[in-house]
Amino acid sequence: MLHKMTRGALIVFEGCDRCGKTTQCKKLVDALNRDGGKAEFMRFPERSTAIGQTISGYLEKKSELEDHAVHLLFSANRWELVPKMLRLLNSGTTLIVDRYAYSGVAFTGAKPGFDLQWCKQPDVGLPKPDQVLYLTLSPEEASKRAAFGTERYENTEFQERVAKNFEILKEHDWKIVNAGKSIEDLHGEIKSIVTQTVESSKDKPILKLWS
């Protein structure tokens, strides 16, 4: 008997710096694969492409770019990965993605003179996540963790404006997860949410973001 191929789910992690997003994404991919599923880790910016390398040089403060131009590069970096994302999703692989268009809007929108509506436009039509997990951390918890690195945007004042933008972008179906707990407890909570999403997304079409 022929079985219809079911698709993978598109799971996006967003949240402030140092909330443990990357650690949780990687643990989740390992757990899903161990359980017999197919899952892959992706992150944005994806620094390995030509566009990604330009972005990386900018974040490392090795080069300067005009703010609108770099915003469009971050978006182009997502679009250039869309064919790969769709291929994987349609072949049944769940994608665990560390940052996506919401970071794009929240970060550029934290710069003076930027309107969130303008910021959203280049990402309209990207594959829409089946689930966004938004990791939050209180300022007290955050201050107990390692200090900021030296990349662009890694300072408290900017990050506070980013957090406010995430609050505006947040949609009713986002899962807000308090990241101020142990790695294992947080992992357990996240895994149970994502396991349900993987199941419920199987037969649903992939929708388009913000359209």
Interface residues with ligand TMP (CB under 6 A) are: 44-45, 59, 74, 99, 103-104, 107, 153
Q: Shortest approach of ligand TMP to residue 193 CB, angstroms?
A: 21
Summary count for the chain: helices (H), strands (E): 9, 5
Q: Shortest approach of ligand TMP to residue 107 CB, angstroms?
A: 3
Residue closer to ligand TMP (CB basis): 38 or 163: 163
Q: Shortest approach of ligand TMP to residue 199 CB, angstroms?
A: 28
Q: Shortest approach of ligand TMP to residue 196 CB, angstroms?
A: 26
Residue closer to ligand TMP (CB basis): 3 or 62: 62
Q: Tell me the one-letter amino acid at 132.
A: V
Strands 175-178 and 10-15, bridge-based pairing: unpaired
Residue closer to ligand TMP (CB basis): 107 or 134: 107
Residue closer to ligand TMP (CB basis): 71 or 187: 71
Q: Shortest approach of ligand TMP to residue 161 CB, angstroms?
A: 12
Do 113 and 176 form a contact (C-beta atoms < 8 A)?
no
CA distances (Å), origin 186, targets 23, 54, 125, 136, 154: 10, 34, 31, 11, 24
Q: Shortest approach of ligand TMP to residue 109 CB, angstroms?
A: 10
Phi then psi for 159, rounded to 5 degrees?
-65, -30
Residue closer to ligand TMP (CB basis): 22 or 196: 22
3-state secondary structure string across 64-102? CCCHHHHHHHHHHHHHCCHHHHHHHHHCCCEEEEECCHH
Distance CA 102, CA 12 (A): 10
Helix or strand or coil: residue 177? strand
Residue closer to ligand TMP (CB basis): 141 or 153: 153
End-to-end, the C-alpha distance of the chain in Å comes to 38
Orientation of helix 67-79 relative to helix 50-59, angle to 10°: 140
